[in-house]
Amino acid sequence: MNILGIETSCDETAAAVVKDGREVLSNVVYTQIPLHQPYGGVVPEIASRAHIEKISQVVGDAMKGQSVDAVAVTYGPGLAPALIVGLNAAKGLAKSLGVPLIGINHIEAHLHSPFIYDSPDDAAAKLADPREIGPMLGLAVSGGNTVWIDMPECGKYEVIGETLDDAAGEAFDKAAKLLGLGYPGGLKIDRISAAYRERFPNEPLVPFPKGRPRDGVTALAGLPAELCVSFSGLKTALLRHVQQNPGLLSQDVEKEDFGGYSVPPAVAHVVASYQEAIVQAIADRTRAALRRGSYRAFVLGGGVSLNSRVRAVLTKVCSAAHVPLLMAKPKFTGDNGAMVAGLAFYRRNVSGDAALRADASPSLQVGLT
Ligand code: KG4
């Protein structure tokens, strides 16, 4: 069964055709990053307009030479004016092709990304059917989400931990902005940190806070404190560190190459320290979550799952817990239509006439049927 997946929840206009939930036959992603760069973050109105301009071309390119048996679309969570564009395009297409429409949750789709492949050599091509693997623990970690999800079986989801404020990707992006590295910041911080740690492996890092929520705060979310993170304190600690070291961002300091970016060594040191605080926060909550169940796999998805240090540290955490780590192929870590199309083979958050009537749902909860 070939499903066309459409994704416009944030700043990527994306469409893909996936066969039987796993094999990616086409995958087209148009990223709007350059449009948002001057503003240092995603501007919903600009995102919406760019989706409108690109959606026909992106969907047309993805469908070229493919037959389609159903159309799947992200209808939440995400930015309302962005979601609406993909949802309306999907409704029109499903109607005109006379095929069913399936509404999909963006976060759940990220957790399906380790199962999709576009080459028989991919690790994902060798994995068992996701319906045979559970129970699984998932972590969707991106610019908009940082959430640990218990998946007792394929298609069943329960949030067991999450960020109480910023998502990890947002924490990376805000730090990059503060340090003058531009937007988005995740990949730059990743590369600068890796280069710094290779050159100065024994240099102690700045002891930034590791994302522990304040006592009592998690009671509001009703989730166990040991599975929740808060990155707002980390962000403030970075700001304070910059204020207390006025020379840090001075233009007069000599810059050096760190991972392809020209920055003063003192800035690279702060960048590596900040990244480590985020990575250790994620590792710590993952360790605690793995202890709570007898999981047969840990699935990792979302833009931040591309981070080399996140991957390395979580590989160790999973190996110590004797739980296989399933990670998305790098091209499928960020937002894409293939994860949406793939998941729709196994799961329908909303389908049939209900899907055709569905509205965009910016705060869509994980696990709804
Ligand atoms: O999944 P994604 O494309 O969009 C959302 O659904 O949010 O994730 C984008 C986020 C951005 O915050 C970006 O800075 C971050 O992922 N990111 C990274 C890396 N590559 C992208 N963060 C850390 N390390 C990376 N290598």
Q: Is 259 in the pocket of ligand 1 (CB under 6 A)?
A: no
Residues contacting 15, CB < 8 A, separation 6+ = 4, 5, 6, 7, 28, 58, 59, 61, 62, 63, 337
Q: Candidates 9, 300, 304: which one to mutate for ligand 1, based on the most atoms within 8 Å of Cβ?
A: 304
161 with 283, same domain: the answer is: yes
For 287-309, the pLDDT digits (tens) are 999 999 899 999 999 999 999 99
Q: 70, 356 in Cβ contact below 8 A?
A: no
What does the pLDDT read at residue 222? Answer: 85
156 with 211, same domain: the answer is: yes
Q: Is 142 in the pocket of ligand 1 (CB under 6 A)?
A: yes
What does the pLDDT read at residue 213? Answer: 75
Report CA(126)–ligand 1 centroid distance (Å). 26
100 with 198, same domain: the answer is: no
173 with 322, same domain: the answer is: yes
Q: Which residue has the tokens 């003192």?
A: 266
199 with 143, same domain: the answer is: yes
pTM, whole model, 2 decimals? Answer: 0.96
Q: Candidates 187, 188, 193: which one to mutate for ligand 1, based on the most atoms within 8 Å of Cβ?
A: 187
Cα–Cα distance for residue pair 160/156, rounded to 1 Å: 13
288 with 152, same domain: the answer is: yes
Overall number of domains in the chain = 2
Measured N-to-C along each axis, helices 265-291 and 232-244 cross at an angle, to the nearest 10 degrees, of: 160
Residue 363 lies in a domain: no
185 with 209, same domain: the answer is: yes
Of the pLDDT bands very low, low, confident and very high (cuts 50, 70, 90), residue 251 is confident
Q: What is the DSSP annotation of 295-360?
A: -SEEEEESGGGG-HHHHHHHHHHHHHTT--EEE--GGGTSS-HHHHHHHHTT--SEEHHHHHHPPP
Report CA(99)–ligand 1 centroid distance (Å). 33
CA nearest ligand 1 atom 16, residue: 303
Q: Are strands 256-258 and 261-263 parallel, antiparallel or unpaired?
A: antiparallel
Classified as helix, coil or strand, 15 is strand
299 with 169, same domain: the answer is: yes
Residue 279 lies in a domain: yes
What does the pLDDT read at residue 266? Answer: 96
CATH number, domain of 41, equals 3.30.420.40
Q: Where in the sequence is the domain holding 98, given as residue range(s)?
A: 2-122+331-357
Mean pLDDT of all residues in the chain? Answer: 95
336 with 324, same domain: the answer is: no
143 with 236, same domain: the answer is: yes
Q: Which atom number of ligand 1 is nearest to the Cα of residue 301? A: 1
353 with 217, same domain: the answer is: no
Of the pLDDT bands very low, low, confident and very high (cuts 50, 70, 90), residue 163 is very high
Mean pLDDT calculated for residue range 119-148: 96
For 13-69, the pLDDT digits (tens) are 999 999 999 999 999 999 999 999 999 899 999 999 999 999 999 999 999 999 999
CA nearest ligand 1 atom 3, residue: 334
193 with 92, same domain: the answer is: no
Q: Which atom number of ligand 1 is nearest to the Cα of residue 106? A: 6
